[in-house]
A and B are shown apart, each in its own frame.
Chain A
């Protein structure tokens, strides 16, 4: 900062931003190329988007991921934590594009759909690499703007437009809360680098304490909105139900990864001095979230709404890792996010596949008798649901195990017991779907989408759930390596 020279100096380590730069350029090129692709061949854009993701992934993997490197005056960081989160988000984007292949092919302006997904990925990549609130907020807005448009993409469907508008208004409100909290923190510390705030808050006078707490509360509330923590979860069920199903799958996974990484960075880097205070706040939020998510899901008849509430429940479990505030806890949250990615993407892939005469198979009744019609899908869905419920020796069990163990080790035994009780309650609505599939007679005629890529997605995700369930070691080792700097 001290000696700025003109013309603009070439920043050190610009190379660590290569994945973002490549993704931005490719997404913009795709936007242009889309103009010249005739309507029948729009599938090419989807594959080009997948290729862009792969290029970004390769660029990311060839970077030295061992230590944390900064560029742009320390505004952008590449450390193992960011790199791991980016791999997860790229995987989620690719899977979401696979799910969209058939779903979106009849829509207008398909090309922009895939471009917006890439730009959302770009925003999330900036979020997880942010070391300060400015870049974090801008990344967040970039991601959120893309997702608002994606949610409202089927603009002739009333539900979709309604969902988009609701998400937009509540998202804008939560951004306002986040910024308002930031202004308080900035007023007291005159800094917005996470590390600088953390340092300044260590020796803050008693007079400013109330303002700092208020700022922290607003920031937590703003972030809680983005990852749908109760009582800031109201937008989730409506938005998940109304959005096109592939978009629901995308937004239930990728932004959650980005949101949790930012949450962890903010708590661990900016607010370590306020740990007692934020633990109380987060504990209340976690209790509410776990309760509301798991109980409200029971009453849902629409599977997308049910999965929305189930997402809220899972987010509550992930919060336990943040409450533990240890390396083990953060690693547990990352394990949870990794496994959740595969479970949720698989479940949504099957929902997308169950399309009959243009109507989505979204009601729970539509799953009745699936085992007789399509035993393969029923088996995959059963595995994924068992895993979501946390039945032992499937991946979901280890995810829950990781966060519960971390919570217990850091002394939050009652919270862990509460979470275990509600995860048992949660089993009910997952197993109910299994009961519909295996023990009920079919009530509607199925008309499945036959798309090999989507079927492969189902196979891959269910295999991943089984393999991670039997060999959880590698995932857990990767996650603890990713959070080793905390």
Chain B
């Protein structure tokens, strides 16, 4: 009973925070709402006995990704008025699609999927089950291929980001250390005969 109560509290706050991300006028507030959303989602993970995922969500997303987001948002000068442009123009179509999706989703989730015994009635795990160990066991065996592909994706993200932002500028004077070290006396010094 109390578990259901907490589930609904966290779930409702997640939805609320999600709405806040989209509706907040200030981009900074949107980021804050997103952080709040992540915290609530992490709480939902905790309630499912997936502490590792919950902690990772907070550490990685809130701790690293969202902080980076904030920096980016602070550096960009977002024109709020222009963001709102065309809002009313797209509202009828967008709103209609959103409404249709909402009806479908409510229909789908209330049609009895969640009455399915084997899915719905997952009991709690014993205290001896260690989340991290269990994930590690499957991640590096059964899902090894997926893990490796994910590693390549990270490499691509890295290369892609650098390729799109790195530019070699000609107007900057760099210090070339090997050139400095390799300089010889003849390069810099000239013996000039001075008439006495």
Contact = CB atoms under 8 A, between A and B. Distances in A.
Contact of B142 (A1, A6, A28, A113): A1
B146 A138 contact: yes
Contacts of B143: 75, 134
Given A73-B142, A126-B149, A145-B153, A187 B113 contact: yes
Nearest to B104: A214
A82 to B, nearest CB: 14
B113 A208 contact: yes
Contacts of A213: 108
B47 to A, nearest CB: 17
A134 B167 CA distance: 36
Interface stretch (A47-55, A146-154, A452-460): A146-154
Q: Is the interface of B mostly helix, strand, loop or mixed?
A: helix
A31 interface: yes
A113 to B, nearest CB: 8
A28 B155 contact: yes
Given A138-B150, A149-B163, A152-B164, A119 B156 contact: yes
B146 A134 contact: yes
Contacts of A447: none
B64 interface: no
B182 to A, nearest CB: 18
A116 B156 contact: yes
Nearest to A138: B149
Find the residue from A9, A11, A211 having the highest chain B CB count within 10 A: A211
A76 B143 CA distance: 11
B108 A211 contact: yes
A112 B111 contact: no
Given A148-B160, A149-B164, A188 B152 contact: no
Contacts of B108: 184, 210-211, 213-214
Interface string A22-36: 001000100100000
A75 B146 contact: yes
Contacts of B81: none
B144 interface: yes
Interface in B100-124: 104-105, 107-109, 111-113, 115-116, 118-119
B155 to A, nearest CB: 7
Contact of A8 (B115, B140, B156): B140
Interface size class of B (residues with CB under 8 A): 35 or more
Nearest to A156: B167
A190 B112 contact: no
A228 B138 CA distance: 35
Nearest to A39: B168
A91 interface: no
Contacts of B153: 138, 141-142, 145
Interface in A68-117: 72-73, 75-76, 108-109, 112-113, 115-116
B119 A135 contact: no
Interface string B124-162: 000000000000011011111110011011011101101
Given A75-B146, A135-B149, A149 B160 contact: yes
A123 B157 CA distance: 13
B14 to A, nearest CB: 15
A205 interface: yes
B136 to A, nearest CB: 10
Given A109-B166, A149-B164, A210 B111 contact: yes
A377 B140 CA distance: 54
Contacts of B149: 123, 126, 135, 138-139, 142
B168 A190 contact: no
A188 B146 contact: no
Contacts of A479: none
B152 A116 contact: no
B167 A112 contact: no
A8 B141 contact: yes
B159 A116 contact: yes
B119 A190 contact: yes
Contacts of A443: none
A72 B152 CA distance: 17
Contact of A208 (B105, B116, B157): B116
Find the residue from A11, A113, A145, A206 having the highest chain B CB count within 10 A: A145
B167 to A, nearest CB: 7
Nearest to B109: A211
A323 B92 CA distance: 33
Top 9 closest A-B pairs, CB basis? A207-B112, A149-B160, A138-B149, A72-B145, A210-B111, A211-B113, A211-B108, A214-B108, A210-B108
16 contacts: A4-B141, A8-B140, A28-B155, A72-B144, A73-B142, A75-B142, A119-B152, A119-B156, A123-B149, A134-B143, A134-B146, A139-B149, A142-B153, A184-B108, A188-B116, A190-B119
Interface of A: 1, 4, 6, 8-9, 11, 24, 28, 31, 72-73, 75-76, 108-109, 112-113, 115-116, 119, 122-123, 126, 134-135, 138-139, 141-142, 145-146, 148-149, 152-153, 155, 184, 187-188, 190, 205-211, 213-214
